[in-house]
A and B are shown apart, each in its own frame.
Chain A
Amino acid sequence: QKEVEQNSGPLSVPEGAIASLNCTYSDRVSQSFFWYRQYSGKSPELIMSIYSNGDKEDGRFTAQLNKASQYVSLLIRDSQPSDSATYLCAVGGPGFQKLVFGTGTRLLVSP
């Protein structure tokens, strides 16, 4: 059974701070890793993808992957109240396969 684990939170950070979100996964053959943002009552919105070890930056977001430790993280710099949402970690196998989601971490950014 493939598992993706996340701390459910909430993670509370003040506006302007760095939010750090973490995820671990169980299946060593996993090859694709994603972060989705989900506002309450809405659908998951893809914000980052990462496929190889190291860091990948896109604007205020940085995804980090460590396959040896089976660990994925998302850093959000200069957090804004509009970043308050649930962040879902999703892991896929080789090719065009299903995604296995974690339960998500709820992020609260206070003004």
Chain B
Amino acid sequence: EPEVTQTPSHQVTQMGQEVILRCVPISNHLYFYWYRQILGQKVEFLVSFYNNEISEKSEIFDDQFSVERPDGSNFTLKIRSTKLEDSAMYFCASSYRVEQYFGPGTRLTVT
């Protein structure tokens, strides 16, 4: 069964550094999303992406964040200058219609 994949599974970075989180959505899916989950808290929407552009973004998704689909398979989330409060699990999701399927996540630790 097709799955969303994410790399790396765990990323440790220092405050102020740039990180890129990578995702490979399910191949025939058209809609792509990033969510995050701070430890012990709810899953929060960051951004949705369709037809090579952002379709919606949350208040969390400020100028420090960007997304890109650099080729036909990858979908990336870049955080330009990480803060301590960016430490969280970041989940990529994709959908063909309405149902969203989540990848295994990247645990980002900012020190």
Chain A residues packing against B (C-beta within 8 Å): 32, 34, 36, 42-46, 49, 51, 88, 90, 92, 95-104
Shortest Cβ distance from A32 into B: residue: B98
Chain B residues packing against A (C-beta within 8 Å): 30-31, 33, 35, 41-45, 48, 50, 55-56, 58, 89, 91, 95, 97-105
Beyond A96-B95, A97-B56: 19 further Cβ-contacts under 8 Å? A34-B100, A43-B89, A43-B104, A43-B105, A44-B102, A46-B99, A46-B100, A46-B102, A49-B99, A88-B42, A92-B98, A96-B31, A97-B48, A99-B35, A99-B43, A99-B45, A100-B45, A101-B42, A101-B44
Chain B hits for A98, CB < 8 A: 33, 45, 48, 56, 58
Chain A hits for B97, CB < 8 A: 96
Chain B hits for A49, CB < 8 A: 98-99
CB distance from B110 to the nearest CB of A (A): 19
Residues A46 and B98 in contact, CB atoms below 8 Å apart = no
What separation, in Å, do the CA atoms of A56 and B87 have in the docked complex? 38
What separation, in Å, do the CA atoms of A54 and B99 have in the docked complex? 19
Chain A hits for B35, CB < 8 A: 99
What separation, in Å, do the CA atoms of A34 and B93 have in the docked complex? 14
Chain A hits for B48, CB < 8 A: 96-98
Chain B hits for A34, CB < 8 A: 99-100
Residues B98 and A88 in contact, CB atoms below 8 Å apart = no
